[in-house]
Amino acid sequence: MTPPMAKRLPHPLTNHGETRDDPYYWMRSDDRSDPEALAYLEQENAYANEVLAPLDGFRQSLYDEIVARIPQDDTSVPYFKDGFWYYGRVEAGKEYGISCRRPGERGTFPEGATEEVILDQNERADGQSYYRLGGLSVSDDGTQMAIGEDTVSRRLYTLRFKNLATGEFYPEEIPNTSGGAVFAADNRTVFYIKKDLETLREYQVWRHVIGTDPSEDAMVFEETNDEFYMGLSRSRSRDYIFIGSYQTLSHEYQAIDARNPTAEPVVILPREENHEYDVDHAGGRFYIRTNWEARDFRLMSVEPGQSQDKSNWREEVPARESVLLDDFELFEQYLVIVERREGIRRLRVRPFASPENEHEIEFEDPVYVSGLGRNADFESTTLRMTYESMRRPESIYDYDMGSRERTLLKQEEVVGGFDPEAYVTERVMAQAHDGTQVPVSLVYRADLDRSQPNPLFLYGYGSYGISIDPSFSSSRFSLIDRGVIYAIAHIRGGQEMGRAWYENGKLLNKMNTFTDFIECAESLIQSGYTQSDRLFAYGGSAGGLLMGAVVNLRPDLFQAVVADVPFVDVVTTMLDESIPLTTFEYDEWGNPNDETYFRYMMSYSPYDNVAAQDYPAMLVLTGLHDSQVQYWEPAKWVARLRYRGTGSEPLLFITNMDAGHGGASGRFRRHEETARVYSFLLDQIDIHQ
């Protein structure tokens, strides 16, 4: 079995007086039907399939085992909104969900009421190799529905509208949107966002009246700064529609009176450099989560019409050092605060009438995840919340914010019998090179022999301020029950330990992300959890960049590495403003048109630092239609690894020709990729059953 060797064509790139040759640049193509590029991808797929063929039986048994834990029939917990109880369900053998509702009143689910199916995704996906529902929204009076659908996996959604009274779809369709639609109070007008077809940036807000020709739609706002993308939302009070413009370090919101949808949007606070804020509305005031004079954010409020002068803002929740104000939820009588303290996401409840009676909701496990559930009923005094840990499936509770009583509504079912007490979760700290203590969350079998090193799966991400929570996943237990320890390295670049955790893992501090991960791995070895020849690493997207950087820095540290849709050609991509995500990520990675950032990014860019050294066994995954990380990045990287790398460990590259950044769609089919990853890793330590 001879691995493919991609052709090399000289392609000098000169920046800041430095010339580097990119011999695989020819793979970059905006035409995803380019025959030469497709031929190379198919060769790599054929080679990988041939190498992995002896594992086909094991992979199938892993897949069967994983999907066997997933309930064939399941129903979500209903939530109340505008005279209906909404819920979703899945049926045996079907890949996609079914959205339903029943008429009723607040407080009690109407068991005897007739079910209305408002959308069956299985019918919509019939005949499609890929299907994803991008959004589903219903008008206030419950008569109209808007959905966004993607059948290519490029995250370009077509909006369609349904009359829920007749059950018929309207004839109009609106392509190339972000997928969501926000209804105005008239129950006929919707606002939506169009995407730029080249960069896939959300850049225009449009207004549509259901039942009319989309050619008559009106553009409400265009974001002309290509470093910003956009979002739409409706306030908790439903009085306003918000247009959000977001850049890494700057936010701006505009408000439209939901009862007057043709009104011009009014800026709540003009964008300012290094000012991030989010906004909602209730009780006649805007509530603003802001980092103005508060690195870890605080909550302010102000009357509409006075918001552009910050001297009018009133502090509601003060900032606390190293406690990140992550989110908030407004109710008519209560404020719910979501914060991260010591790396754990926690919930606090404050009555508006008696703020001195604020309290934190307590949970059981020492390492856990709590969060907001679906709270569609603004007038309710009950908080819908979620709780889970790495050993405990997600539980959905109703929490009476007055009496503090908690009612379990549902716990995620793991078919076949699952006992959380058969597993142990813990958090350990690894010391980084600068003395920083980096948390690592672990889960493993309680009966695991800890007197000797065990196989260990180490996951990392560390970018965009995204915090990786110690959450539950039933598929992981196909590793854990085979004696593998599952671990998450909460490295800098996320926000697990506050805003400083993010700032110390981005731009000219980005190397901390990679060295943190390496030092977490080394600490786990030194503590006896594992050893290098039994250590796996996994990361996807920006986590794939992490994988590419650490295997260049310490290829000896890992037995096997999986890089999923990896962002590995950092410098060339960030110099190409036509590629999606480039321009509005300058504040994350840096702008390589600036020589300082160019030099720093060149020091870690995985593609540019492939060396003549022995690399661990590697499995690299991508999707032909990926809109976030273009397929040619991992393709070029693998080609250079084949050309420069030494050693005999397998290097496999697989392109899903029908999917994009998120992989295969469908609740079962997506686990075909999970089983492939697990079989590849377990094969490295001679586990085949």
The string of pLDDT tens digits covering residues 272-294 is: 999 999 999 999 999 999 999 99
Q: Is 120 helix (H, G, I), strand (E, B) or coil?
A: strand
Domain total of the chain: 2
**Cβ neighbours for 28, distance < 8 A, ≥ 6 positions apart:** 630, 632, 636
Strand-pairing partners, residue 230, are: 245
Closest C-alpha to 240, from 221, 255, 253 = 255
580: pLDDT confidence band, cut at 50, 70 and 90?
Answer: low
Catalytic residue among 208, 625, 661, 671: 661
Supply the pTM of this predicted model: 0.89
Chosen domain end from 359, 387, 412: 412
In a domain, 21, yes or no: no
Q: Do 148 and 135 touch, CB atoms closer than 8 A?
A: yes
Closest C-alpha to 285, from 250, 235, 328 = 235
Task: State the Cα–Cα distance between residues 84 and 101, nearest whole angstrom.
Answer: 6
* pLDDT at residue number 305: 93
Chosen domain end from 379, 412, 445: 412
* pLDDT at residue number 664: 58
Strand-pairing partners, residue 423, are: 445
Residue 490 a catalytic site member: no
CATH no. for residue 579? 3.40.50.1820
Structure tokens at 381: 């005094």
Task: Pick from 246-255, 484-493, 585-594, 629-638 the range whose average pLDDT is largest.
Answer: 484-493
Task: State the Cα–Cα distance between residues 184 and 258, nearest whole angstrom.
Answer: 5
Residues 353 and 454 in one domain: no
Residues 519 and 608 in one domain: yes
Share of the chain above pLDDT 90, in %: 84
Residue 508 DSSP label: G
In a domain, 243, yes or no: no
Residue 661 a catalytic site member: yes
Residues 497 and 639 in one domain: yes
Structure tokens at 211: 């039942």
Residues 529 and 385 in one domain: no
Alpha-carbon separation of residue 397 from 179, 202, 371 (angstroms):
29, 35, 10
Chosen domain end from 351, 383, 412: 412
Catalytic residue among 626, 665, 671, 679: 626
Residues 549 and 427 in one domain: yes
* pLDDT at residue number 312: 97
Task: State the Cα–Cα distance between residues 612 and 607, nearest whole angstrom.
Answer: 13
Mean pLDDT for the stretch of residues 451-461: 97
Q: Which domain holds residue 466?
A: 40-67+417-683
In a domain, 458, yes or no: yes
Please, what is the Cα angle at 158 between 154 and 161, to 5 degrees? 155
Strand-pairing partners, residue 324, are: 340
* pLDDT at residue number 666: 61
Residues 370 and 451 in one domain: no
Task: State the Cα–Cα distance between residues 567 and 570, nearest whole angstrom.
Answer: 7
Residues 352 and 434 in one domain: no
526 has pLDDT over 90: yes
Catalytic residue among 389, 471, 478, 541: 541
Q: Do 305 and 351 touch, CB atoms closer than 8 A?
A: no
In a domain, 633, yes or no: yes
Residue 541 a catalytic site member: yes
